[in-house]
Amino acid sequence: MMRRIVAIGSLGMAAVLVQATPAASEPAPVAVSSTTVDPFGACTADYPELQPGTYYPNSEVEPFLAVNPTNEQNIVGVWQQDRWSNAESRGNVVATSFDGGETWTTVTSTKTSLCTGGTEANGGAMFRATNPWLTFGPDGTAYLISLGIPDFNQSVVYVNRSSDGGRTWSDAAPLQVEADNAKNDKPTITADPANAGNVYAVWTRNEFPQEQAAPLAEENTAASRGPAWFSRTTDGGRTWQTARQIYDPGAQNGTLGHQIAVLPNNDRFHGELVNVFDVSYGYTNTQGLRGVHVAAIRSRDKGATWSSSTRIAQALPAPILDPLTGTRVRTGAYIPDIAVDPRSGMLYAVWQDARFSSGQYNDIALSMSTDGGLRWTAPVRVNLTPAAAEPSRRHAFTPSVHVAADGTVGVGYYDLRYNDSDSDAGQPLETDRFLTRCAHPSASAPGLCASGWTETRLTPASFNLRAAPNSVGLFLGGYQGLASAGSTFLSLFAQANNAEDPATVYFAAVP
């Protein structure tokens, strides 16, 4: 993530608060990654002893998942394995299930890094990999996009494919290679649900003067520009069009967290693309823009051309610190998530925001668009974190949003509601993952939900966030996975355990 070069603006936007409903009973989460065995324990191909920083063995962070539309029992998850303290991991590892998530098979041979079978010949000779993201095409082909580091002055966006439900993966197809004074960041990939050959990739290209280049640590890439770059395939990933810029925020401004949603083909929409992201204005304050905003651009021709940007809302996240030690909790503060109703085309964007508490703590903000991303509602608070005397226990962070087949909207997030006052750092920083749902979303209803939001706790017992890998802050990922099979929500999330198992990926299904 590029370092923000802007100051957060004043709190001034009106918002509607949702009414809390008590949390439902917890599902039983399944450990998808191993809690005891590091799959890279014997790997020396990446020469870890010669690399800068410290890696955390048996740590799995930043998970994502996708469901095969030709077989909803086939779920594929991915995560970063063995996170480094100063950015990236030793490789992106996949797990696949063919029984709806009850059992999982780990697949380390993703060819995303030297520790996962990557070579010069297959395009995966990366010392480090990060930012994994998955999507399924309507024909059952899975696509995995990654950001890799083949050399410590280079960054590569590349895609691997699977035609057997995630069991095996193709050689890597590079979309963009950067070096020296530019660095790729946070790629995502979206398959067109109505066109089996069409898949869309989007990411940030941070550009900075040569003397400011910081090729490894994402926290030190102070970009003088951070435009959006895009590539697509129309033949199912066999070939990819030359990557190109699709949005330029201007000098001294940047973007982050690009993600494309595809509108349905119905009586209102015709498969348009909507890209939602954060844009930061640090150089000019024309029209009061200075600060960070959630924005959107649209394409009516499958990515050939793109519109100018529409501002959804200002993003106003607050820092999150361990209330005892002051250690930073590194969250998805500047990474919005987007979801589309596959029937109606209603769009939803969520992000981390402190507007509802005058900057004291973060909530999860949600905005809705009923016209394909042209106009958006004022943000509302959708997390049901209860009131607490200490603001540190009110923080909610790292949201995910998804729409199930029946139109129900689900939003996942972490919060600290069960954390007690600690006297020493040996005690846990109690953290949990939750899912809140709205069965009848409505742009005119309080909280954008006519039926009221209901909440389910995904972690039956709180976990200790202090045990998480410290990668420029306690880190479980800039995003977490949320999908659905029919009307059942599927959550893939990381939780910290202990020094021997700094982070593990868990799966929960919520009917």
What is the pLDDT, as a whole number, of residue 152?
Answer: 85
2 pLDDT exceeds 70?
Answer: no
Whether residue 440 contacts residue 377, with contact meaning beta carbons closer than 8 Å, is answered with: no
What does the alpha-carbon distance between residue 159 and residue 175 come to, in Å, rounded to a whole number? 7
Indicate the residue among 248, 277, 299 that finishes a domain. Answer: 248
Does 3 lie in the same domain as 66? Answer: no
User: Is there a single domain that holds both residue 244 and residue 372?
Assistant: no
Same domain, 14 and 91: no
pLDDT band at 290 (very low <50, low <70, confident <90, very high): confident
Tell me if residue 341 falls in helix, strand or coil: coil
The reply to whether 297 falls in a domain is no
User: Per-residue b/e over 186-222, b at no fewer than 16 CB within 10 Å?
Assistant: bbbbbbbbebebbbbbbbbbbbbeeeebbbbbbbbbb
Range of the domain at 368: 1-26+323-511
| Domain termination site, one of 210, 225, 248 | 248
Share of the chain above pLDDT 70, in %: 91
pLDDT digits (tens, 9 = 90+) for 104-118: 999 999 999 999 999
Q: 78: exposed, middle or buried (C-beta count within 10 Å: 0-12, 13-18, 19+)? A: buried
Is residue 286 over pLDDT 70? no
Joined together, the tokens standing for residue 180 give: 């020296």
Q: What is the pLDDT of residue 215?
A: 43
Question: Do 168 and 20 lie in a common domain?
Answer: no
Which residue did the predictor score with more confidence, 485 or 152?
485
269-274: long-range contacts at Cβ-Cβ below 8 A with a sequence spacing of 24 or more? 269/345, 269/372, 270/300, 271/192, 271/194, 271/195, 271/302, 272/298, 272/299, 272/300, 272/372, 272/373, 273/200, 273/298, 273/299, 273/302, 273/303, 274/298, 274/338, 274/340, 274/347, 274/372, 274/373
Residue 219 has pLDDT above 60, yes or no: no
pLDDT at 24: 57
pLDDT of residue 284: 59
- pLDDT over 80 (residue 375): yes
Assigned domain for 241 exists: yes
For the stretch 85-104, pLDDT in tens is: 999 999 999 999 999 999 99
**In this structure, is residue 284 part of a structural domain?**
no
| 370 and 455 both lie in a single domain | yes
| 342 inside domain | yes
In a domain? residue 292: no
Q: Is residue 305 part of a domain?
A: no
Is 490 within a domain? yes
**For residue 264, with 0-12 CB atoms within 10 Å meaning exposed, 13-18 middle and 19 or more buried, which class applies?**
middle
Q: Structure pTM?
A: 0.93
* Pair (17, 47) in one structural domain: no
Q: Are residues 446 and 362 in the same domain?
A: yes
